[in-house]
Every structure is written in C-alpha cells, then in structure tokens.
Structure 1
C-alpha cells in the first residue's frame, strides 16, 4: 500500500502560490473597476449607465465561461488550460489599458471575463490534484482567502491606483502578475493530463447553460435600476433556459455540468453553503459602501479603510482553519463560521441607531473570521471526496454556484433596499438596517443547510465516498 503524504511541503506551497495568482487577478478585477466609474465617464464622455457595462460585461463573460472550464481541462489538460487563460487574461488587460473608446473597452473586458471565468475552477482542480485528499484541506484554508478579500480590497486598491495614476492602470496592474504567473507555472505546477478518451463537447448544453446564466445574471444586475419589464423578462428567460438545461443534463451522457452532482451528498449541501456564503458576502459589500458613502458621507478611500477589517478577519480565520481543518469535523467548522457571520451581521440591523465606526469595523472583523471558516471546509468536503477524474467538472460547478450566489445576493439586496428606501422616506439609515435583516435571514438559511454536512471524517468513510 502506497502511503499518502500529509505534510504540506514547500513544493506544494509554491504550486498553490502560483495558482492563486490567477484567482487573485480574476476576482480582484471584478471589483477594482467599481471606483473608476467617474474617471471612465469623464474620459469617454459617457453616462454612468453606459460605463456600468464595463463591469456588467465582465461579469456576464465570467458566468458564460465557468461552465466550459471543466471540459477544457479534460480536453487539453489542466495546466495548459490554466496557462492559456492567464495569457489571454493578461493580453485582454493590456488591450483594456489601451482602449480608445468605451465600446472597445467593453469588448476587451468581455474577453478578459471569458479568461477570468476559467481561472478559479481550473486552478482549484489543479491544486486538488497536486495536494491529494490528505493535504487539500490545509492548502484550501489559505487559498480560499483570495475570493473573500476581493470584494473588500478591490475598491480600496482601485482608489489607491486612481489616487496616483490614470484609469488605464486599473488594468495594467495585471500585466506583471500575469507574466509572473505564466513563468512560474512552467516550473511549479504539475501538468494535469487530459482525460482518458476525448469527451465530445456538449453543444446543446452550452447553448442552454451559458446563455441562460448570462441572461439570468443580466436580469439580476438590471434589478438594481428597478423591477421593470426588462429584468423580469431576462430573469424569466434565464430560469427557463436553466430548467431546460437540467432536463437535458439528466438525459445526456456527458453534460457540460452534471446536474446529478447536486443530488449526491455531500455535494448538494456544500453547494448550497457556497451559494449562501456568496450571497451574504457580496450582498453586504453592496450595501455597506452605499450606506457609508451615501448616508455617512465618507469618501471612497475612507470607506475602503473601514471595510478592510473584514479582510483582516478573513486572514485570521484562514490561519485558524489551516491548523484544525484536518482534525475537526467540517460541519463543526462551518457551523461556527456561520454563527460568527450571524454575530457580525446583527449590528448592521441597528444602523439607524447611529452605529459607531468602531462597532462597524469590529462586526466586519468577526464576519471575516466566520466567512473564512465556511469556504475552505466546504470546498474540502468536495475535493477530498471526489475522484480525480471528476475534479475539473466539480470545480466548475462549485465556482459557478459561488458566482451566482454573489449575483443573487447583490440583486436581492438592491430590490430590498429600493423597497425599504421608498417605505422609510427621509430615514435612509433605517432602510439599510431593514435590508440587513434579509442578509441575516440568508445566514440562517446557510446554518440550516450546514447541519446536513458530514459528521467527523474517518478513513473508511473517505474510501466509501471517494466516487462521489
């Protein structure tokens, strides 16, 4: 019997560092441009609504590309797929920095999003393969920190860049990171071989799933401007296309994303936890900046500084999880994390009572610790219990749900906030407080789902569930 290494050695940490560079670029770029709307509006003489497509186009491209990432890794190999995506993302970043018009910038952002959607799932699958079942939990405890930091530090980094340079540097900052990632990958990332036997591309599934997701996300993001006919029609069409994909996926031999995965424990419950986590994190990061800059009158930089404790908490939480993830039940860690997120969310339901900045910072610190205790254990449940041949497809599905969770949380909070602002009238702080009660409700839903997660692991159980 061949023993499985359990120590995370320097070689594996180098692999993790290289792969996390890709995730860092993709996730940070989804939020770093948010503070550049005014600069882009002035540069291209466009309205804020038109400039918003720089962000919306990127997001739509990401959700379009994520489902195909598993097939690409199976067909061409994990490392080749990841390195190609990094190179394409870096090239698109350069083109964005050189954009001569707003339509050109939007087109290059779409290209950037198509590459960015492949990076996190392809990187996670490569990392899970390199680490193996016994070590993936400890590595994920650190790597999973990156997506938690992007909604916090993205606007802060964007504000710092615009304070010292012009708008093209919002995109040019990716160039040295991308070049370094490609060079390091050739030396530190083991090649993920293509899958045995060439699986045909699921054309019908792709025509239903990727456009359906894009239309759904378009409808969700349009809800921020009011619940008019356009978002309702887009959401309805998107849901219909996704239902059609599920029916197709249940019949197809090798669907783009296998719907049957979500019916197999613990994948289904883990997926629910990631959706709720994404909705809670991004929903809060949508509401708080609006409140701090609108109701409190803080600048973008001061707002970013006040939000930073959530990133500090996430770092502390990831270090704690790294020490106990191999010895503690995933359900225990996730339930503790959900409880901390709930404790950190509760003070925001009292924003109308002139909550001090210190209390906001402390609450965000607690939320950050809790969020870090959810993401890594949930992904570890899946990646440590699934056969290696299915890693790319599973990573694609998990990242897809996390992205949708963020979009759903933002759209839900936008609708709730608009309704409560209308109801509250001259008291906007009370409207924001009302919206955070909904965030707290999402956390409760996550807690109910977390109770269904696996109990303490055993080697025998891992062996029994390895073919999930």
Structure 2
C-alpha cells in the first residue's frame, strides 16, 4: 500500500478532532434540516386542540395529523440507505427538503381534517430522510475520529426541538394563526435548500444497486403498522385491545420476516450483519432503552405544567428551558471528549445525572416549587447532553464509509421505534392512573388546562384534592421512567471507555469488508 493512497486520518499519530470550516458548514446544512423536522413534530403537538376547533373534529381525528406524519416517516426511513447509494446523498437530501417544504405549504392550505392529514403524509415523506441522510453526510464529512464532535452539533436541534417547539407553537397560535405552524417551515426550508445546494459536495460516485423489493414490502409497512398499533394505545388507554394488538402484531410479524430475509439475501434493503459489530450492538441496545425512557418522560413535563398547574402552553415551554440550557453546556464537551477517550464514562455519568434529576419528579405535588423543578430539569439536561449523542457516536465511529448509510438508517429506525414505544407506554400508564377520576382524565390526558375543560365542565369549582390527586398520578408515572432510565445503566456499562479505534476505510482494506456493499 503506497502512502499516496492512504488518507490523512490513517497516518500514525493522534488524529485532529477539531472540526474544520467545511465540516462546520456541512453541519450547518444538516442542523437546519433537523430543526425543521423536529420542531414540526413538537409544534403540531401543541396545535391539537386548535385543529379540533378549526376543523370540527374530535381528539382522535386531530391526532391523525401527528400519526400520519409518523407513519410516513416509518415507511420512508428504511429507504434511506438504498437511496443514498443509488442517487447520492446530496440529491436525496435536496429532494427531501423540497418534499418537506411542499408538504408544509399544502398543510397551511388545508380545508378540512382529511386534507391536512394527507398533506402531513407528504411532509413526512420528506422529513423521514432528513435525519438519516443528514447523519450520513456529516459522518462521512468528518471521518470516524471526529464523529463525536459532529454528533454533538447534530444533537442541539434534537434536544432544543422539544423545548422550543411548545414555545414557538404557543406564540404562533396565540399571536398569528394555526397556518403559521406550517408556514414557519417555508423560509427555513428555502434557506436550507439554497445553503445545501452550494455547500454539499456531489458524491464522487454512486453505485447502482437494485432495490430489495421483498425487503421493502416487509420492512416499511411492518414498521408503519407496528408504530401505528403502539401509538394507538394512547388513544385507547390500553394495549389490550384489537385496535392496538392487531396492527402491532402484524407489523411485528412483517419486521421478523424482514430480519430473516435480510440475513439470507446478498443485497438486503438494510444490512443487519452490522450487528456483528459488538460496539454497534451494545450502542443500539443502550439507545433503545434510553429513548423509551427519556422520550416517554418528555411527554409528562408539559402535561403536568398545563393540566395540574394550569399554565399556558407558552409558559410550560419556558419552564422546560433549563433542560435545554443544561444540555447545551455538556453536549459540546461530551462530543469532543468522546472522540478522545470514548463514550462509556460520559454515558454512565449522564445516566446518573438523568436518574437524579428525574427522581425529583417522583415526589410531585400540586404546588411543588418551580425553583426545585427547574433545577431538576437543568440536572437532567446536563445528563442528556452527556448521553444521547455519545451513544450514537459509539455506533457510528466503528463504521467505515461503506457501512455508514446502513448504520445511519439503522440508528434512525431504532430512534423512531423506541421513542414511539416510550410515548405509548407512559401514556397508557398515565391514563390508567387517571382512570379513577373523570375530571383528571379529561383535563390532563388531553393536554388541557382546567380553564379549558369541555363546556359541560366549565365553571366547575375543582377542589384542591383534584390537583393533588392528579399530581400523585404524575409522580407514580415518573417513577416508571426513572426505573427505565436506571436500567439503561446496564448495557451502558459495556460501552467503550477508551478511544474507539478508527475503522479501516474502503481504500485501505486489502480484504473486502465482511458486510454487503451497497
């Protein structure tokens, strides 16, 4: 092997983990796309009651504006790896942006709930590829030795979206109209489109893989049906009903069929042989438990502030800000240091901080000090910044360039599935706890403050015991999240606690990699 064919980062000596100008510019592109996609999910969640009023529909009908988007994401994410190999990451990313912008404009023009749901599906088809393709672009631009630093950059919108979304949604709905929930994406999307056109480089070469039709027919509908079934449990307030079990079981069977197919075919839609990589496997298990625990709990914070404390959506969003501030402090540090000393120590410390911060919410009352709660959220934010992106870095840092598309797609499938499962589990636990109180069930599970109760209950003087009882239910539900977060500690113990060795990249391998090349 001649030195001329060896990339710079393969030379001996400590690698430079500092992000250069080009990588930072590419990161800016990806962050813009991520902001649009993630903010859109949280802003639309805030607008559910508004959709019910504007389109004369019930909560189940309005919920389809979120469900339709999620199902479109689930259907299109598995295509990301194949599309990147077939057309190149730049072309796919630009196409995704165009679809997302088009869907946003159409959503703002919707005339009834049916048209809004249909246009949300179009938006989801674009949004589904923004994150996995963005991760591919960033990982390839930075190289394995800097993946922790770039994941920290990408993690900022992933953390701030759930916090900024309610604030932005509240402002747009209160000061403008529901149309701006979608129109706000248009200027951001156009800026991202122009920026991407000039900053992103065309892939040097793309392969021409045939699409794995059998895999596509198994995984995309399987994932969509499974997530639909799981998500429906929030509406039914139980898992033990046909509306939940039938689609979830059918989806699980299709996913199992895909797993068997992927392990017995030469060119699968998604290469599951990556799980032979021990570090990636441990990272996936850790990420699954973490996403179930954290994103389930994330639903509870605004519901408590709105339903029990009677705060507005805007105020609830502001009360969550300390969590984002904590994450902003630790995330860049953890990202940079993960590249140098490995993710294990940071993830373990982060889980301890998350567990400590969330434990405060187990003892919630109807008048618990906001100072205490904001302090606990800040501690959680510190832990969050040290946890989520280092886990992802642990997986992606072990991959060579040929494996990055499949690895990125796999991590996004895990994220989407785990967060949906977590949301469903926590919603069902909360609904079950509130089942004994009809007033509490309406006020809280609908994200509705007491002053916004249904007409037949307006003017009713709710006794203090109502709020105290509801707070107790929230405390018990947070206990479930604390236990789930603590369980994440077990697989995290096996994450690398020293610098992850950079993988051999394609040009440097004398032997072909033991994976299927796309």
Contact 2:294 2:485 in 1 (8 A): no
Aligned to 1:438: 480
Aligned to 1:164: 175
Contact 1:128 1:391 in 2 (8 A): yes
Using the size of structure 2 for normalisation, the TM-score is 0.86
Runs of 5+ consecutive residues of structure 1 not aligned to the other structure: none
Distance 1:138 1:200, change over 3 A: same
Map residues 4-15 of structure 1 onto 2, 5 A cutoff: 4=9, 6=16, 7-15=18-26
Map residues 355-366 of structure 1 onto 2, 5 A cutoff: 355-366=368-379
Aligned to 2:8: 3
Indicate whether 1:456 and 2:498 are aligned.
yes
Instruction: Measure, in 1, the Cα distance between the counterparts of 2:87 and 2:63.
Output: 35
Aligned to 1:86: 97
Distance 1:435 1:263, change over 3 A: farther
Distance 1:151 1:390, change over 3 A: same
Aligned to 1:234: 247
Indicate whether 1:16 and 2:30 are aligned.
no
Aligned to 1:245: 258
SS of aligned partner of 1:134: helix
Match of 1:375 among 383, 388, 396: 388
1:265-304 Cα offsets, whole Å, 9 max, x none, are: 1111111222223222321121122222112221111111
1:24-80 Cα offsets, whole Å, 9 max, x none, are: 111111111112122222222222221111111111111111111111101100111
Contact 1:161 1:169 in 2 (8 A): yes
Aligned to 2:221: 211
Aligned to 2:196: 185
1:135 CA displacement: 2.0
Distance 1:187 1:408, change over 3 A: same
Distance 1:458 1:100, change over 3 A: closer
Indicate whether 1:284 and 2:287 are aligned.
no
RMSD of Structure 2 on Structure 1 (CA) = 2.0
Distance 1:423 1:452, change over 3 A: farther
Using the size of structure 1 for normalisation, the TM-score is 0.95
1:155-184 Cα offsets, whole Å, 9 max, x none, are: 221111112211111001111111111111
Match of 1:384 among 394, 397, 404: 397
Return structure 1 stretches of 4+ with deviation > 6 angstroms: none
1:341 CA displacement: 0.9
Aligned to 2:232: 222
Instruction: Measure, in 2, the Cα distance between the counterparts of 1:250 and 1:98.
Output: 45
- Matched residue pairs, number? 466
Instruction: Measure, in 1, the Cα distance between the counterparts of 2:84 and 2:336.
Output: 31
1:354 CA displacement: 4.3
Aligned to 1:415: 428
Distance 1:178 1:338, change over 3 A: same
Instruction: Measure, in 1, the Cα distance between the counterparts of 2:372 and 2:340.
Output: 33
